[in-house]
C-alpha cells in the first residue's frame, strides 16, 4: 500500500508534469486570472516575444484593481495616472485573444479573489494563479492557488505550465467552538500573532480542526486570504460537504453527470489519516476574543480589550526595535489601552472581508445607529453580485442611514494606488495589510473584523460589538 498523503501532496502530484532538477517541478496550471494591473503587461510581453496564448479558455480577466469605486464610474476611470491605459489595454487584449472577460460594468464584476469562487472559476483540486499575493484566498474552496509575477503570467499564457519548488507541509488546527462575536478574521490574526509574519515560509498550509468544520465558506476564504501574511505561499481548506454545496450550480463549475464525477474526485483528495506534516500548530478558539492590530505588521496584534504590548517583551533585539518603530509610526505607547484609541476612518472592503456575510455582520451592528461625527465611514463591496445582493436585502440603506459611503466594487482603498484620501489618518479596516503607507502616506491602519470596524465607526474609537450581535 502507498503511504498516506496530504491533500496538498495529492493535488501537487496530479498536476506534476516532470521534475526539472534542483528541487523544481513543472506543474500544469488549470486557471490563470489577470487583472488590469498585470493583464496588459503580461499580454503585451507575450506579443512582443511572438507568442500566443496556449489555452485561452483557461484565462480569466477582471477589471478590479485600478478602476474607481465611485458610483457611476466611467469605463476607464481610475485614481492612478497609468490606470486608464492599463484598463483599456487589458480590455482590448481580452477581446483580441478571446479570454473570459469581466469588464467594469459586467454584473459579475468584482475583486478577482471574490469573483473566482463566486463563479466557480476556483474549484477544489485545481491549480490557479494570479498576479496578486492574495490569490491564496481561493484555497478556501480547496484550490491550490498562489500569486505570481507578470513574467510568470506570460509563461502561463504561453504554456499553461509553471515551474515551482515543492514546499513542506504544515497543518494549522483550530479546535473548539468559535465564541459569539469572533470571526474568521480574528482566527487568522490570532494565528499570525502566534507564529509571526515569517512563520509560514517554505510551507503549504492546510487549515483544519473542529472550528474550521463549522466555519462557512466565506469565512474560510477570509482565513486563506491571509495565509500570505505569515509568509505561506499556499493556504487551503480541503473540500467537504459545505464546499460542494457552495459550488454547486456555479457558472464555471461542472454540471450534470460531470458534477457527480468531480465531487467523487474531490472527496478522494482529502488528507489521509496518518499523513505526515512537517509542522503543526494548534489553536484553541474557545477563549478567543476580537483581535485588532496595533503596529505595522499583521503579527502586531492582540485582543481588542488588551493593552498595547511593550517592545521589551519581544523575543530578541531585532523584534524589539521593530516593535518600537511600529509604535512610533502608529503614534501609540506601550501599555496604552487599545480599546478607545480614536479613529478617523472606518473602512469595510477588500478581498479579505467584503463578501455578503461580512456586510450582513456589519449591518447588524450598524442598524439603528449613527457613525460618530467626524469619522469617515466607507464600504466597498467585494463584487457587484455582493453589492446587488446587499441592496436587495436593504443592507445598503442600513449602511447609508448610519453614515457610510456606499461604493461600487473594486480593490478600492485596500492599497494606496494614488488616492491620498486616507493620508495621515488613523483607519480601522477589514483589509489584510497594515504596513507603513499601505493605505496612503503616513496612514495608520488597524486590521479587524467587519463587526469590530462597524462598532468602532459608531464609537469613534477602537471598540467591539456586543457579543449578542456576533
Into how many domains does the chain fold?
3
Cβ-count burial 422-442 (b if 16+ within 10 Å, e if not):
beebbbbbbbbbbebebbbee
Q: Dump pLDDT digits (tens) for 68-96.
A: 999 999 999 998 999 999 999 999 999 99
> Is the same domain home to 320 and 452?
yes
| pLDDT at position 467 | 72
Q: Within a domain: residue 14?
A: no
| pLDDT at position 39 | 81
Q: Dump pLDDT digits (tens) for 185-217.
A: 999 999 999 999 999 999 999 999 999 999 999
Q: Within a domain: residue 307?
A: yes
Among the candidates 137, 165, 193, a domain finishes at 165
Query: Residue 323: pLDDT above 60?
Result: yes
Range with lowest mean pLDDT among 32-46, 299-313, 439-453? 32-46
Q: Dump pLDDT digits (tens) for 372-406.
A: 999 999 999 999 999 999 999 999 999 999 999 99
| pLDDT at position 469 | 53
> Is the same domain home to 236 and 326?
no
Domain span holding position 280: 168-284
Contact assessment for residue 271 and residue 5, using Cβ atoms and an 8 Å cutoff: yes
The CB-side HSE value for 54 (13 A sphere, CA atoms) comes to 15
Q: pTM of the entire structure?
A: 0.97
Among the candidates 262, 284, 306, a domain finishes at 284
Query: Residue 418: pLDDT above 60?
Result: yes
> Is the same domain home to 102 and 188?
no
Q: Within a domain: residue 18?
A: no
Mean pLDDT score of the chain: 96
Q: Dump pLDDT digits (tens) for 333-366.
A: 999 999 999 999 999 999 999 999 999 999 999 9
Q: Within a domain: residue 11?
A: no
Q: Dump pLDDT digits (tens) for 158-173.
A: 999 999 999 999 999 9
Q: Dump pLDDT digits (tens) for 145-159.
A: 999 999 999 999 999
Amino acid at each position: 500500500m502507498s503511504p498516506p498523503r496530504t491533500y496538498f501532496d495529492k493535488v501537487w502530484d496530479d498536476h506534476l508534469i516532470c521534475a526539472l532538477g534542483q528541487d523544481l517541478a513543472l506543474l500544469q496550471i488549470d486557471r490563470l486570472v489577470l487583472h488590469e494591473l498585470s493583464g496588459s503587461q503580461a499580454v503585451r510581453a507575450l506579443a512582443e516575444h511572438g507568442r500566443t496564448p496556449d489555452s485561452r479558455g483557461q484565462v480569466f480577466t477582471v477589471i478590479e484593481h485600478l478602476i474607481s469605486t465611485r458610483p457611476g464610474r466611467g469605463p476607464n476611470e481610475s485614481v492612478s495616472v497609468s490606470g486608464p491605459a492599463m484598463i483599456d489595454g487589458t480590455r482590448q487584449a481580452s477581446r483580441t485573444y478571446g479570454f473570459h472577460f469581466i469588464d467594469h460594468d459586467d454584473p459579475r464584476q468584482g475583486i478577482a479573489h471574490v469573483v473566482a469562487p463566486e463563479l466557480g472559476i476556483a474549484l477544489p483540486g485545481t491549480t490557479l494563479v494570479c498576479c496578486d499575493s492574495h490569490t491564496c484566498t481561493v484555497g478556501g474552496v480547496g484550490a491550490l492557488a498562489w500569486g505570481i509575477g507578470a513574467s510568470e503570467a506570460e509563461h502561463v499564457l504561453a504554456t499553461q505550465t509553471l515551474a515551482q519548488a515543492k514546499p513542506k507541509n504544515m497543518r494549522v488546527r483550530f479546535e473548539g467552538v468559535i465564541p459569539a462575536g469572533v470571526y474568521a478574521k480574528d482566527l487568522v490574526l490570532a494565528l499570525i500573532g502566534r507564529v509571526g509574519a515569517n512563520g509560514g515560509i517554505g510551507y503549504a498550509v492546510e487549515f483544519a480542526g473542529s472550528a474550521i468544520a463549522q466555519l462557512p465558506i466565506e469565512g474560510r476564504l477570509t482565513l486563506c486570504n491571509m495565509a500570505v501574511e505569515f509568509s505561506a505561499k499556499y493556504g487551503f481548506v480541503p473540500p467537504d460537504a459545505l464546499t460542494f454545496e457552495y459550488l454547486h450550480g456555479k457558472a464555471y463549475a461542472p454540471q450534470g453527470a460531470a458534477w457527480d464525477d468531480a465531487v467523487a474526485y474531490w472527496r478522494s483528495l482529502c488528507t489521509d489519516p496518518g499523513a505526515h506534516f512537517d509542522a503543526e500548530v494548534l489553536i484553541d478558539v474557545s477563549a478567543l476574543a476580537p483581535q485588532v492590530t496595533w503596529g505595522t505588521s499583521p503579527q502586531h496584534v492582540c485582543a481588542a480589550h488588551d493593552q498595547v504590548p511593550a517592545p521589551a517583551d519581544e523575543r530578541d533585539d531585532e523584534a524589539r526595535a521593530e516593535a518600537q518603530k511600529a509604535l512610533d509610526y502608529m503614534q501609540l505607547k506601550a501599555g496604552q489601552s487599545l480599546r478607545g484609541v480614536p479613529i478617523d476612518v472606518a473602512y469595510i472592503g477588500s478581498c479579505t472581508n467584503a463578501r455578503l456575510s461580512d456586510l450582513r455582520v456589519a449591518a447588524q451592528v450598524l442598524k439603528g445607529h449613527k457613525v460618530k461625527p467626524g469619522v469617515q465611514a466607507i464600504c466597498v463591496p467585494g463584487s457587484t453580485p455582493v453589492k446587488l445582493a446587499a441592496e436587495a436585502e436593504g443592507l445598503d440603506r442600513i449602511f447609508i442611514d448610519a453614515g457610510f459611503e456606499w461604493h461600487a466594487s473594486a480593490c478600492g482603498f485596500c492599497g494606496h494606488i494614488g488616492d491620498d484620501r486616507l493620508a495621515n489618518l488613523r483607519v480601522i479596516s477589514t483589509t489584510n495589510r497594515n504596513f507603513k503607507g499601505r493605505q496612503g502616506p503616513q496612514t495608520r491602519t488597524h486590521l479587524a473584523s467587519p463587526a469590530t470596524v462597524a462598532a468602532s465607526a459608531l464609537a469613534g474609537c477602537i471598540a467591539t460589538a456586543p457579543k449578542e450581535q456576533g
